[in-house]
A and B are shown apart, each in its own frame.
Chain A
Amino acid sequence: MNLSDRSDAVRKLMAAEGVDLLLAFSNGLHAIQAPDPVFHLSGYRPRDESALLLAADDAHLIATPAAEEERVRLRSAVTNCVAVKDLSAALGHFLPAPGMSLATVGLAGLRHDVVTRIDALLGKQAKRLDDPFHAATAWKTEEEIGFARRAAWIAEEGFAHLLEIARPGMKECDLAVALKLHMEALGADDNFLLLSALPHNKNVRPSSDRRLEPGDVVLAELTPTYRGQFAQICRTASIGAPSPVLAQKYALVVDAMQAGIRAVRPGATVADVCGAIDAVLTEAGYGELCRPPHMRRRGHGLGFGSTVPGDVAIDNHWRLEPDMIFVVHPNQYLPETGYLLCGEPVRVTASGVEVLSSRLAALGVAAG
Chain B
Amino acid sequence: MSIDAGAALAPMHSAHLVGPYDWDASLLPRAEYDARLGTLLGIGEALGLAGIIVHGNPRDHGTLAWVSGLVPRMGMPAWAFLAKGHAPRLGLAGLPTPRQTWIEDMRLVRDLKQEIGDWLGAIGLASGKPARIGLCGAAALTEGAYQRLAAALGTIAIADDHYGPLAELRQVKSEREQGLIARAAAMLETAFAAFGAVRGSGLRKAAIEAKRAAYAAGAQDVVLLASLSDGGLPLPLDGIEEAESDPLHLSLAVRHAGYWARGLASFGTANSAAAACAAAALSGLIELMRPRLSVASLTVAAPKLLGAYRAHPLTAAGAAAGIGLSLEEFPSEPNTPLVAGGVYALRVGAAGEGGDQALASAMIALNADGAHVLWRSSAPGRSLSP
Contacts and interface: CB of A to CB of B under 8 A. Distances in A.
Interface of A: 27-34, 45, 47-48, 64-68, 70-71, 74-75, 85, 107-115, 171, 173-174, 176-177, 180-181, 184-185, 187, 189-195, 203-210, 223, 225, 227-228, 230
Interface residues of B, number: 56
A109 B228 CA distance: 29
A107 B143 contact: yes
B16 A203 contact: no
Contacts of B36: none
Contact of B13 (A29, A65, A68, A174): A29
B59 A67 contact: no
9 contacts: A29-B57, A45-B238, A70-B232, A171-B20, A189-B237, A191-B16, A192-B74, A195-B18, A223-B16
Contacts of B247: none
Interface in B134-179: 138-147
B212 A65 contact: no
A10 to B, nearest CB: 22
B240 A193 contact: no
B260 interface: no
B272 interface: no
Residue of B20, B73, B314 with most partner-chain A CB within 10 A: B20
A48 B11 CA distance: 9
Nearest to A115: B143
Interface of B: 3-4, 7-16, 18-22, 57-59, 73-76, 94-97, 99, 138-147, 204-205, 208, 211-212, 215, 228-229, 232-233, 235-240, 314
Contacts of A48: 7, 10, 59
A130 to B, nearest CB: 11
A193 B18 contact: yes
A204 B74 CA distance: 13
Given A31-B15, A47-B12, A112 B233 contact: no
A173 B75 contact: no
Nearest to B6: A65
B204 A71 contact: no
Given A29-B59, A173-B21, A187-B240, A85 B75 contact: no
A110 B139 contact: no
Contact of A111 (B9, B76, B140, B229): B140
B74 A31 contact: yes
B21 A206 contact: yes
B152 to A, nearest CB: 15
A180 B12 contact: no
B15 A209 contact: no
A65 B7 contact: yes
B75 A112 contact: no
B3 A208 contact: no
A66 B8 contact: yes
B7 A173 contact: no
A193 B16 contact: yes
A194 B74 CA distance: 10
Contacts, number: 164
B141 A111 contact: yes
A204 B177 CA distance: 32
B13 A70 contact: no
A110 B142 contact: yes
Contact of A206 (B9, B58, B97, B143): B97
A65 B4 contact: yes
- The 8 A-B pairs with the shortest beta carbon distances in the complex, nearest first, are A31-B75, A67-B8, A65-B7, A108-B144, A112-B146, A176-B18, A115-B143, A192-B15
Given A109-B143, A187-B240, A67 B7 contact: yes
A307 to B, nearest CB: 12
A70 B75 contact: no
B20 A209 contact: yes
Contacts of A189: 237-239
Contacts of A195: 18
B150 to A, nearest CB: 9
B15 A109 contact: no
A70 B239 CA distance: 13
Contacts of A192: 15-16, 74-75
Residue from the set A74, A185, A204, A207 with the largest chain B CB neighbour count within 10 Å = A207
A74 B239 contact: yes
B229 A70 contact: yes
A191 B74 CA distance: 11
Contacts of B59: 28-29, 48
A230 B359 CA distance: 35
B215 A177 contact: yes
A210 B100 CA distance: 12
Contact of A64 (B7, B21, B142): B7
B97 A112 contact: no
Contacts of B145: 112
Contacts of B204: 184-185
A265 to B, nearest CB: 29
B254 to A, nearest CB: 13
B143 A208 contact: no
Contact of A177 (B19, B140, B142): B19
A109 B75 CA distance: 12
Contacts of A180: 18
A204 B96 CA distance: 10
Nearest to B57: A29
A180 B146 CA distance: 33
A193 B95 CA distance: 13
Contact of A181 (B58, B142, B212): B212
B142 to A, nearest CB: 5
